[in-house]
Structure formats: structure tokens, C-alpha cells
Structure 1
Amino acid sequence: MRKWISSGSRFEEEVGYSRAVVDGDYVWVSGTTGYDYTTMTIADDVVAQAEQCFANIARALAEAGASLDDVVRVLTIVPNPADWPPCWPVFKRHLGRARPTSTLIHAGLATPAMRIEIEVTAKLPKGA
């Protein structure tokens, strides 16, 4: 059975996607940027954006019945290679227990204000 999860972002409705999709034992979370969806604002600092990305991802995972500790794969996109090392402690804090597979890509994002985008896949815990 498939379940769609929305963050309430207008982008999801306008573009036609979900923040996350639960299907079977897995949760696929869309590429998530540092927008605070309650205020539709984004911080200038890449570390603050990474923290907000994880807050947004954690919220979607919780709605699915999972947590950041259940993440098995992470894909990170940063336009500026210099922005990646300052984010390492953020990733370690949020994903250090899960120790998922990880890929980093340096590429442009939808707007210049976006300095990082994070996509994850999680496996639902047994009984969820």
C-alpha cells in the first residue's frame, strides 16, 4: 500500500510531487532543501540550511513511522564544493547512528539561495 506525505510546501502542489512516499518497507524522501516550510524562508548559511533539511526530512520520516536512524541511503547535492566540509558535523549528528550509504554531487540547484539539497531512503522499522 502506498502512502504520500506532504510538507505543505507549495512546490509539491505546483510541480506534482510528494515530500515522501511510503511503499512497502521503504520511505523515499524527495530532495529536501533548507526551506522552513512554515515561513517559506531560507537561511543564508549552508550549515543552517543543512540543519533545516534534516528537520524537514525527520518530520516526513516521523509521519511515515521512521526516523533518521532508519536511513539507509543519502544523496547530497551542493553547488559549491567549499560548502560541503562545514556540513560534515551536521551529517554526523543526524546520520551517525544510521551510517547510510552516501553520494555527494556538486551541481546547481533550483535557485541560488539553495546551498544544499538532501535526499534519503529509509527502511521502516519492523512493526511500523
Structure 2
Amino acid sequence: MRQLVSNGNPMEKIVGFSRAVRVGPYISVGGTAPVDAEGKTVGVGDVFAQTTQCFEIIKAALEQAGSGIQNIVRTRVILTDIDNGKEAIEARKKYCVDARPVDTIMAINRFVNPEWLVEIEVDAIIADDA
């Protein structure tokens, strides 16, 4: 079974991507940017707020795929400035402290939108308690 999860972003069809893809019990959520329903950046200049927004989008995608935050097994926190890592991790803890997934934190030069300070990817599973 392959399930494509959309959050209504018109670029999904144009570019050819999904917010998340579920194959069997596995779910991958692609690079999630800190945007609202209209595509506007949330928390400009605020890594904590942006990380929180990313996780709220991820949470909704996981729930749409039949899982949830508690079933995350891997996170990737991608920052434009590694010095913002502490703030990003503080926001991440609100969502991941119980699941304790493996984690990668890295920095890149920039994202497509220069207002974005963070993007997050996760992998999750469908568990018996999902």
C-alpha cells in the first residue's frame, strides 16, 4: 500500500512531491518548512517559533497517514545557522521527548525562502498504539 499525504500546497503537483508518503507501516515526511496555510513564513527571525510550526505541520501529516508524533523514529533538523541549534532543540523536545527518536542536526547555507531558518524531516511508523 502506498499513500500520498498532501497538505494542499499547489507546488506538490507542479514539482511532483508529497508532504508525506506512507508505504506499509513506514512514513516519511519531507523537508517541512515553517509556513502557514497560505504559504507565508511563520516566526520570521525566530527559530523556536519556526521549529514549532514545522512540527505542527509534521504532526498533522502523520495523523493523516494514520500515525502520530509518538511514533517518530528519526528526525533531521536542518538549520541555516548551527548556532540556532539550542533553540531548535528546545522546540523539538516538546514533540519528541517521549518518543526519543534518533536525530541529526545539520546546517546548510540557505533554503529556497531566505526567511526560513529551519526545515525538519521525520520518519515514523504505524505502531499498534497509533
Equivalent pairs: percent with the same residue?
35
2:87 counterpart SS class: helix
1:105 counterpart SS class: strand
- Cross-structure match for 2:50: 49
Q: Which consecutive unaligned segments of at least 5 residues does structure 1 have? A: none
Residue 6 (str. 1) matches residue 6 (str. 2): yes
- Cross-structure match for 2:114: 112
Hey, what's the Cα distance between the residues in 1 that align with 2:100 and 2:123?
Answer: 12
Hey, what's the Cα distance between the residues in 2 that align with 1:4 and 1:99?
Answer: 26
Aligned length: 127
Deviation at 1:89, TM superposition (A): 1.6
TM-score by length of 1: 0.93
Residue 35 (str. 1) matches residue 35 (str. 2): yes
1:94 counterpart SS class: helix
Deviation at 1:14, TM superposition (A): 2.2
- Cross-structure match for 2:127: 125
Contact 2:48 2:90 (C-alpha < 8 Å) held by counterparts: no
Residue 92 (str. 1) matches residue 88 (str. 2): no
Contact 2:73 2:99 (C-alpha < 8 Å) held by counterparts: yes
Deviation at 1:3, TM superposition (A): 0.3
User: Counterpart of 2:28 in structure 1: which amino acid?
Assistant: W
Deviations 1:22-74 (A, max 9, x none): 001111101101011x2221120211111110010000000011111100011
Deviation at 1:127, TM superposition (A): 7.2
TM-score by length of 2: 0.92
Q: Which consecutive unaligned segments of at least 5 residues does structure 2 have? A: none
- Cross-structure match for 1:65: 66
Hey, what's the Cα distance between the residues in 2 that align with 1:26 and 1:126?
Answer: 13
Deviation at 1:124, TM superposition (A): 0.5
